[in-house]
Amino acid sequence: MLAIGDQAADFSLADTDGNMTALDDLLRDGELILYFYPADFSPVCTAEACLFRDNFQGVEELGISIVGVSPQSVSSHKRFATQFKLPFPLLSDVKKTAIRAYGVDGMFGIGVRRVTYLIDRQKTIKNRVVADLSAASHLAVLKDTLSRR
C-alpha cells in the first residue's frame, strides 16, 4: 500500500461517461483526494460517497478534486452517482489495475480496501487514511486538508 511520501501510481480509467481519465488529467488544476472503495450501493460505501459529496464545495473552493475508484462497471457508477447526486467522478477499475498499483486490493485479491489518498500536483502522497469499515474516518483527510488552508 502506498504510504505518505510515496509517488502516486499513474493510471487511466473510464469515468461515468466512459471517457478515459488519467492521473495527470486529475492533477491538472490542483491536488486530488483519491478514494478507493469496495462497491457501489453498499451501505458503508454509500455513506462514504455522501460524506465526500456533502463536503465537496469546501474542497472544490480550494482547487482540490475528489475522485472515487472501485471495480464496478461504468454503468454501475453512473447509476450510483446519479442516485446520490455525486458532484465528482467515479472511475471504473474492473481489471483492478489502479487498485493493485496503489496496494488496496483486498486480502487474497478479493474485494478492495477502503483507502483515501491526498495527492499533490507532483504526484506525492501527502496524506492517507485506511479504514476498511468506517466511512467517517475518511472524512479526516477532508478536514485536515481544509484546516491547512
List, by residue number, the catalytic residues.
45
d(CA 97, CA 101): 6
**Please, which residues have CB within 8 angstroms of residue 77's CB and are 6 or more apart in sequence?**
15, 16, 40, 70, 90, 91, 92
Say how far apart CA 58 and CA 93 lie, in whole Å: 27
The rounded distance, in Å, linking the Cα atoms of 38 and 44 is 9
Residue 104: left (phi > 0), alpha (psi -120 to 50), or beta?
A: alpha
Residue where the block lists cell 483492478: 96
